[in-house]
Structure 1
Amino acid sequence: MAIREILEVPDPRLKQISAPVTVFDEELRTLVADMFETMYDAPGIGLAAVQVGVPLRVLVIDLQPDDPDAEPVPCAHDGHHHHHQPTKREPRVFINPEILDPSAERRVYNEGCLSVPEMYAEVERPARIRARWQDLDGTVHEEEMDDLLATCLQHEMDHLEGILFIDHLSRLKRQMVLRKLEKLRRAA
């Protein structure tokens, strides 16, 4: 397992169209394991293979919901007990995903992306989708999704077409985001 470098805008490799996965082998398992390690390290909730420079139709998602059964843990910083729920890991892999019947109803989420670090913007997408995808063994799955999972899957699937969330914004808003990012980088 290894942490791979996450490509950031304006890297032209993020604009590549990802190719379908046809071989479900050890190499694919290694890629997925590395993608999870890279995503958790970042940390993020979703990552497409193209973001680590591999233009294949492979996505990993883990919304890492707060665990309602977890004990509150003391925060290291100040000795006070915060209800800082440990998160449950719910890693999910989507290979060659497709969207069937997106809902007419739309929902707006404030989205971010590991390839556009520390920038957030509101994007409107279908509120519910039915998704079809393959797992690491090539088995096909179908599921109805809504809320954050539907948004996240659609956001990650955009990467497969070389689309970033900022591409959904007006030109003006997109330029503002990119300028802010440039400023942050210079400050660093």
Structure 2
Amino acid sequence: MIYPIVAYGDPVLKKRALDITPETLDVKKLVEDMFETMYSASGVGLAAPQIGKAIRVFVVDTAPLEEDEGKPGLKKVFINAHIIKEEGKEWAFEEGCLSIPGIREDVYRKEKLRIKYVDENFVAHEEEYEGMQARVIQHEYDHIDGVLFTDHLPGLKKRLLKNKLSNISRGIVKADYRMVFPMKK
């Protein structure tokens, strides 16, 4: 099932999401639907809050970002994730977000991270990632903490984007996928 993407301005995007247990919901079905939703919107990551669910689940597939470098990419499910450590030099990359269509801005993030999480079978993992894989994980991890990439921008840049962001909330934006707008009349 392909979910509509929740647009900027919806309160679920600013909430800290809750951990889940195997009994919370059908995780395998949710993950399958999240990958289907992400691919249909041409995304490389999708967090549960972006489909209206305030739970700590996100999926990533970095293959489209890494194919030019000859890397296979990372396709993975992260449940109840917690970043343990971020390190290395901060580097800029122009990020976008399915919940904020039409806006792309440079965001600075650390180059490496260590994260603990459980997979869709609730098997625990602790792993390190770097480069583009770390960046996509950090972006999606931000979503489950109620943080958007625009929150990382300097004040002036945020003020310059205010009208565009307001228009997204009202549904005055073009997206090639179904969306739900919090302020659409």
What SS does the aligned partner of 1:66 have?
Answer: helix
Q: How much does 1:178 deviate? A: 3.8
Q: How much does 1:66 deviate? A: 2.4
Shift in CA distance, 115/178, structure 1 to aligned 2, threshold 3 Å: farther
Moved more, 126-135 or 88-97: 88-97
- Provide the residue aligned with 1:83 in structure 2: none
CA distance in 1, matches of 2:117, 2:27: 15
- Provide the residue aligned with 1:73 in structure 2: none
2:97 corresponds to 1:113: yes
Higher relative contact order (CA 8 A, sep 6+): 2
Q: Deviations over 1:63-107 (max 9, x none)?
A: 1242889xxxxxxxxxxxxxxxxx978531011111122114212
- Provide the residue aligned with 1:60 in structure 2: 59
% same residue: 38
Q: Number of residues paired by the alignment?
A: 170
What SS does the aligned partner of 1:102 have?
Answer: strand
CA distance in 2, matches of 1:141, 1:106: 25
What SS does the aligned partner of 2:125 have?
Answer: strand
Ranges in structure 1 where 5+ consecutive residues have no aligned partner: 70-86
Contact preservation (8 Å) 1:36, 1:60: yes
Of 126, 130, 133, 1:149 maps to 133
* Matching residue's letter, 1:120: R
* Matching residue's letter, 2:56: R
How large is the RMSD of aligned CA atoms in angstroms? 2.5
What SS does the aligned partner of 1:36 have?
Answer: helix
What SS does the aligned partner of 1:124 have?
Answer: strand
Matches within 5 A, 1:1-188: 2-23=1-22, 27-64=26-63, 65-66=66-67, 90-181=74-165, 186=172
CA distance in 2, matches of 1:68, 1:17: 34
* Matching residue's letter, 1:110: E
Normalised by the size of structure 2, how large is the TM-score?
0.82
Q: Which has the higher strand share?
A: 2
Ranges in structure 2 where 5+ consecutive residues have no aligned partner: 175-185
Moved more, 107-116 or 90-99: 90-99
The structure that has the greater radius of gyration is 1
